[in-house]
Chain A
Amino acid sequence: MMSAILTVCRKEILDNSRDRRTVLTAILLGPLLGPILFVVIISFTISRATSSAEEPIDVPIIGAEHAGNLVAFLASRDIVASEDHGIASIDEAVNAVRDGDREIVVLVDDSFGDDLASEAGAHVSLVYDESDNTSGPRVGRVRGSINAYSQQIGALRLLARGLDPSVVRPLIIDNFDVSTAEERSSLLLGMLTYFLLFATLMGGLYLATDTTAGERERKSLEPLLATPVRRSSLLLGKMGATVAFMLLSLALTLACFAVSIRYMPLAELGMSTSFGLGTAMIAFLVLIPFAPLGAALMTVVASFTKSYKEAQNYLGFVILIPTMPLILASILNVRPTLALMAVPSLSQHLLITNLIRAEPIEASMLAVSVTTTLLLGAVLAYVAIRLYERERILG
């Protein structure tokens, strides 16, 4: 029995390693697509966040001649009054912002200088588009800087009257952000598990299809079933080969991540990640039980289908099933508990998130995750074998 399983497994690995499509998905598509997409998304997010915080902003200031000090103050904060902006009135400013020509326009009141001198309350207007979320950080910077200028003047006035400026600031808010750099990066790296599960499933997709639908379509199933080998051995051998490809795909994906994460400018966001080769290896161990589960699930689905093409269509959806708990988890922002470890794919997600946060993984949680995932995998493998033993498998 064992030797038959090994014979089938060896043959499937040899056969499929010669199939360009299988190899491309297992070795290239899954392992590279995830990390590349990931690097692009993260780099994009980071460059946007950092650029709006540091880059000089060019802002049209109407009536700049009335507020020389303000303009100089803003310039010291890299907010530069644009020259020749051609905007003269508030109506033109509104149009310029609405058309997307400008993100923000500052209007200084004609009587700004006089009002400031007479301490009457000088007016500055900001024209911007609240619904435009890309300009948000820059609008915030301009507003914050004008506020800072206002507070500075206020403080000076109080001092001139012999008063401590803190008189008008009865409350002082001190911010303590308890998130560590690892935790902040885990928000982004939460996507990581999704890519890992995806690559694992992709690695075995073609083999799982081949097991039933493929054999049937090329009419090699019937002679195979007429050999003196139990159908359970045939199927276990095939699932073994599927798992081997899935684990190869997963290992390559993790290696790609471990390498590419080094080149991500995470530090610029005040983030750090402990995702090195060691972490990748632990993540691999955590995800191993998921491979037989995925293989059995895909084999069950493929055995219901009549053709290769039909099997592929269904499996496209099946690949999404393990991602559902992940989506739910990110919406509800769940923390790992022992009960949640009984949910395959979610448990792997939570454990790997822990790993990225450089928090210790509890042995009991790991044990529950491994046991329940393998158990569900065994149940599905049993279902797959029963389906394979039906006469209808011949189609």
Chain B
Amino acid sequence: MIEVDSLSKQFGKISALSDVSFRARDGLITGLLGPNGAGKSTCLRVLSTVLQPGAGTARLGGIDVSEDPLAVRRIIGALPHGAGLYPHLTAVENIRYFGQLCEVAPAALSRRIDRLVQRLDLGDVADRKAKGFSQGERTKVALARALVHEPPHLLLDEPTNGLDVMAVRQLRRWLRELAREGHCVLISSHVMQEISALADNLVIIAHGRVAAKGTPTELAARFGNRDLEEIFVSAIGGEPS
């Protein structure tokens, strides 16, 4: 469970987030939707404790990010925007490094890596150095890296960027599986279709504020049964003139 209450964040004079509140429940996929620069990444960075909240609170599994960031990091798997791998390490070595940092016991770690390699179809690249990986392969390895300590919360910042159609479909399937297993999945995107096909709940952010939130059905009803893209456009305040 992720609970965000009146979260604000300033960078100098620029307000990146102001008074953002939402819930992301376990077993569901919550979509953080908004145009570029709306504050999605800042919000996810606060949740993954690499940034501190300016005001307000954010709790993951009941733990406040300001009070015990280390404990929060134990229960999250983060896939930041454009997450990079270590080019001189193989896929498995990249995953194992993070498993070790998360203090997964060696025997369990090897088992989990085997399972992730199988589940994410990484068999072909498992022992190749990450240097020449395609974007799809990189994202898969980064996802495996985020999952290796079996965190109950998953924070994914625009994970489908640069992926081809097949890879996007595969990723969606995995995320649904993870949610079904009880994970709390929070995914950001600026691509309408991607989110509409995936999310159980939507939080639409524009200019650092929550413009609308609810299930896709609720939002459609509130905005007069238009399709999600139009809801998005009207929620963020119309098209630029």
**Is the CB of B102 closer than 8 A to any CB of chain A?**
yes
Interface residues of A in 17-68 (CB under 8 A from B): 18-19
User: In the complex, what residues of A have CB within 8 A of residue B49's CB?
Assistant: 226
Kindly state the separation between the CA atoms of A350 and B80 in the bound complex, as whole angstroms.
Answer: 50
The answer to whether B78 touches A222 (Cβ under 8 A) is: yes
Rounded to whole Å, the gap between the CB of B83 and the closest CB of chain A is 5
Kindly state the separation between the CA atoms of A229 and B73 in the bound complex, as whole angstroms.
Answer: 8
User: In the complex, what residues of A have CB within 8 A of residue B145's CB?
Assistant: 223
The answer to whether A223 touches B98 (Cβ under 8 A) is: yes
**Is the CB of B52 closer than 8 A to any CB of chain A?**
yes
The answer to whether A7 touches B101 (Cβ under 8 A) is: yes
Kindly state the separation between the CA atoms of A220 and B73 in the bound complex, as whole angstroms.
Answer: 16
**Is the CB of A228 closer than 8 A to any CB of chain B?**
yes
**Is the CB of B103 closer than 8 A to any CB of chain A?**
yes
User: In the complex, what residues of A have CB within 8 A of residue B97's CB?
Assistant: 7, 11
| A222-B85 contact given A7-B101, A11-B97, A227-B98, CB 8 Å threshold | no
Kindly state the separation between the CA atoms of A3 and B105 in the bound complex, as whole angstroms.
Answer: 12
Chain A: residues with CB nearer than 8 A to chain B? 3-4, 7-8, 11, 14-16, 18-19, 218-220, 222-230, 391, 394
A-B pairs, top 4 by smallest CB distance, nearest first, are: A219-B84, A18-B88, A226-B78, A218-B84
User: In the complex, what residues of B have CB within 8 A of residue A219's CB?
Assistant: 80-84
Q: How does the 8 Å CB contact mask read for B213-241 relative to A, with 1 for contact and 0 for none?
A: 00000000000000000000000000000
User: In the complex, what residues of B have CB within 8 A of residue A225's CB?
Assistant: 48, 50
User: In the complex, what residues of A have CB within 8 A of residue B50's CB?
Assistant: 222, 225-226, 391, 394
User: In the complex, what residues of B have CB within 8 A of residue A14's CB?
Assistant: 88-89, 93
**What are 7 contact pairs spanning A and B, CB under 8 A?**
A11-B86, A14-B88, A220-B85, A222-B78, A226-B80, A228-B74, A394-B51
**Is the CB of B76 closer than 8 A to any CB of chain A?**
yes
The answer to whether B102 touches A222 (Cβ under 8 A) is: no
Q: How does the 8 Å CB contact mask read for B74-117 relative to A, with 1 for contact and 0 for none?
A: 10101111111111110001000110111100000000000000
The answer to whether B103 touches A228 (Cβ under 8 A) is: yes
Most buried by A among B79, B86, B93, B145: B86
Most buried by B among A8, A14, A222: A222
**Is the CB of B146 closer than 8 A to any CB of chain A?**
yes
User: In the complex, what residues of A have CB within 8 A of residue B101's CB?
Assistant: 4, 7-8, 224, 227-229
User: In the complex, what residues of A have CB within 8 A of residue B70's CB?
Assistant: 228, 230
Kindly state the separation between the CA atoms of A211 and B181 in the bound complex, as whole angstroms.
Answer: 37
Which range contains the number of B residues in contact with the other chain? 20 to 34
User: In the complex, what residues of A have CB within 8 A of residue B48's CB?
Assistant: 222, 225-226
Rounded to whole Å, the gap between the CB of A231 and the closest CB of chain B is 10
Chain B: residues with CB nearer than 8 A to chain A? 45, 48-52, 70-71, 73-74, 76, 78-89, 93, 97-98, 100-103, 129, 142, 145-146
* Chain A residue, CB-CB nearest to B145: A223
Kindly state the separation between the CA atoms of A227 and B77 in the bound complex, as whole angstroms.
Answer: 8
* Chain A residue, CB-CB nearest to B88: A18
* Chain B residue, CB-CB nearest to A234: B101
The answer to whether A19 touches B83 (Cβ under 8 A) is: no
| A228-B45 contact given A220-B84, A223-B78, CB 8 Å threshold | no
Rounded to whole Å, the gap between the CB of B180 and the closest CB of chain A is 24
Most buried by A among B51, B52, B76, B97: B97
* Chain B residue, CB-CB nearest to A215: B84
* Chain B residue, CB-CB nearest to A19: B88
Kindly state the separation between the CA atoms of A14 and B123 in the bound complex, as whole angstroms.
Answer: 22
Kindly state the separation between the CA atoms of A7 and B145 in the bound complex, as whole angstroms.
Answer: 16
Kindly state the separation between the CA atoms of A230 and B88 in the bound complex, as whole angstroms.
Answer: 24
The answer to whether B51 touches A223 (Cβ under 8 A) is: no
* Chain B residue, CB-CB nearest to A6: B100
Which of B51, B80, B89 contacts A391 (CB under 8 A)?
B51
User: In the complex, what residues of B have CB within 8 A of residue A16's CB?
Assistant: 88
Kindly state the separation between the CA atoms of A247 and B146 in the bound complex, as whole angstroms.
Answer: 34
The answer to whether A15 touches B73 (Cβ under 8 A) is: no
Kindly state the separation between the CA atoms of A324 and B51 in the bound complex, as whole angstroms.
Answer: 40
User: In the complex, what residues of B have CB within 8 A of residue A394's CB?
Assistant: 45, 50-51
| A223-B80 contact given A3-B103, A15-B86, A18-B88, CB 8 Å threshold | yes
Rounded to whole Å, the gap between the CB of A284 and the closest CB of chain B is 28
Q: 17 extra interchain contacts, Cβ-Cβ under 8 A, other than A11-B97, A15-B89?
A: A4-B103, A11-B100, A15-B88, A218-B85, A219-B82, A219-B83, A220-B86, A222-B50, A222-B78, A222-B80, A222-B83, A223-B84, A223-B145, A223-B146, A228-B73, A228-B74, A228-B103
Which of A11, A218, A391 contacts B87 (CB under 8 A)?
A218
Rounded to whole Å, the gap between the CB of B51 and the closest CB of chain A is 5
User: In the complex, what residues of B have CB within 8 A of residue A391's CB?
Assistant: 50-52
Kindly state the separation between the CA atoms of A226 and B81 in the bound complex, as whole angstroms.
Answer: 13
User: In the complex, what residues of B have CB within 8 A of residue A228's CB?
Assistant: 70-71, 73-74, 101-103
* Chain A residue, CB-CB nearest to B51: A391
The answer to whether B79 touches A227 (Cβ under 8 A) is: no
| A222-B73 contact given A3-B103, A228-B103, CB 8 Å threshold | no
Most buried by A among B45, B48, B74, B100: B100
Kindly state the separation between the CA atoms of A210 and B81 in the bound complex, as whole angstroms.
Answer: 20
* Chain A residue, CB-CB nearest to B157: A222
Rounded to whole Å, the gap between the CB of B65 and the closest CB of chain A is 11
Kindly state the separation between the CA atoms of A216 and B82 in the bound complex, as whole angstroms.
Answer: 11
Most buried by B among A220, A223, A225: A223
* Chain A residue, CB-CB nearest to B79: A223
User: In the complex, what residues of A have CB within 8 A of residue B82's CB?
Assistant: 219
Kindly state the separation between the CA atoms of A233 and B86 in the bound complex, as whole angstroms.
Answer: 19
The answer to whether A226 touches B73 (Cβ under 8 A) is: yes
User: In the complex, what residues of B have CB within 8 A of residue A19's CB?
Assistant: 88
User: In the complex, what residues of B have CB within 8 A of residue A7's CB?
Assistant: 97, 100-101
Rounded to whole Å, the gap between the CB of A367 and the closest CB of chain B is 38
The answer to whether A222 touches B45 (Cβ under 8 A) is: yes
